[in-house]
């Protein structure tokens, strides 16, 4: 049962009297005793008020703790720490700088000496036979294909005739060697030596085709390669 009593007390000090209201709250807990104990149990229940106050204080403390935890979790840095989902950044691949390599010094080039110049190949054995046959038979026209152009024609003791065309040389030989018989194209070494001991030594080189007839006329054919480049003719007593 709650009883509210209001009393007004005038204030004596000051120029204005303001009534003050005093409210007295009186709480009375009435409990009826049981049938066995007709005595009221108010005195035995005096501890209830402090207990209720303590319980209320505990409830308030718990409520404050709960509110503080909620606020703390909702605030920055509160709650469970979220694992940040990072964006994988591409790692720059390092650029390999090529290591400079030393350039080997060029080796001196070896200059090969040119092969020794081989003398031009001479006439074949068949060419020699054909040339000998043309002189023996007097068919000097067959020599045209064997002459160089021009061909040098030398007549001993007169130092004529000079450069001739193959046809001119063939005509000259036909006239000069007419009626000559007994041609021999294998002179001895002694004969060649005696002829080379004269003023016309240069017309009896090695490799020349040299012949003589029964009257002592001599002919020497000098080759340049496979062609006859020089024709030398000497009569009896011209050397």
Q: How far apart are CA 74 and CA 65, in angstroms?
A: 14
**92 in any annotated domain:** no
Residues 82-117: tens digit of each pLDDT:
454 555 554 556 566 666 666 766 666 656 666 666
- Collect all residues with Cβ–Cβ distance below 8 Å to 192 and sequence separation of at least 6: 204, 210
**219 in any annotated domain:** yes
Mean pLDDT of 130-139: 95
**182 in any annotated domain:** yes
**67 in any annotated domain:** no
Residues 5-62: tens digit of each pLDDT:
444 444 444 444 444 444 343 444 444 444 444 455 545 566 677 777 878 888 888 8
Question: What range does the domain containing 216 cover?
Answer: 125-234
The token pair that represents 19 in the structure block: 């009534």
**47 in any annotated domain:** no
**208 in any annotated domain:** yes
CATH number of the CATH domain containing 203:
3.10.450.50
Would you say the pTM of this structure is higher than 0.75?
no
Number of domains in the chain: 1
Residues paired with residue 153 on neighbouring β-strands, in sequence order: 162, 231
**217 in any annotated domain:** yes
160 touches 169 (CB < 8 A): no
**213 in any annotated domain:** yes
């Amino acid at each position: 049962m709650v009883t509210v009593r209001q009393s007004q007390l005038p204030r004596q000090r000051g120029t204005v009297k303001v009534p003050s209201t005093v409210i007295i709250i009186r709480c009375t807990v009435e409990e009826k005793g049981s049938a066995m104990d007709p005595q009221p149990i108010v005195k035995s229940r005096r501890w209830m008020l402090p207990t209720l106050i303590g319980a209320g204080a505990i409830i308030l403390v718990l409520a404050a703790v709960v509110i503080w935890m909620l606020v703390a979790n909702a605030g920055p840095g509160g709650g469970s720490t979220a694992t940040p989902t990072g964006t994988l950044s591409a790692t720059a691949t390092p650029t390999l700088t090529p290591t400079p390599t030393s350039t080997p010094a060029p080796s001196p080039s070896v200059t090969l000496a040119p092969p020794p110049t081989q003398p031009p190949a001479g006439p074949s054995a068949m060419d020699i036979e054909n040339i000998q046959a043309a002189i023996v038979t007097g068919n000097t026209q067959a020599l045209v294909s064997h002459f160089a152009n021009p061909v040098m024609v030398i007549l001993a003791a007169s130092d004529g005739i000079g450069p001739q065309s193959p046809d001119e040389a063939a005509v000259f030989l036909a006239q000069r060697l007419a009626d000559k018989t007994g041609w021999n194209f294998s002179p001895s070494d002694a004969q060649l030596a005696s002829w080379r001991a004269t003023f016309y030594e240069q017309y009896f080189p090695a490799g020349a085709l040299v012949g003589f007839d029964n009257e002592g006329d001599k002919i020497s054919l000098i080759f340049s390669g496979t062609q006859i480049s020089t024709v030398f003719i000497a009569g009896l007593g011209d050397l």
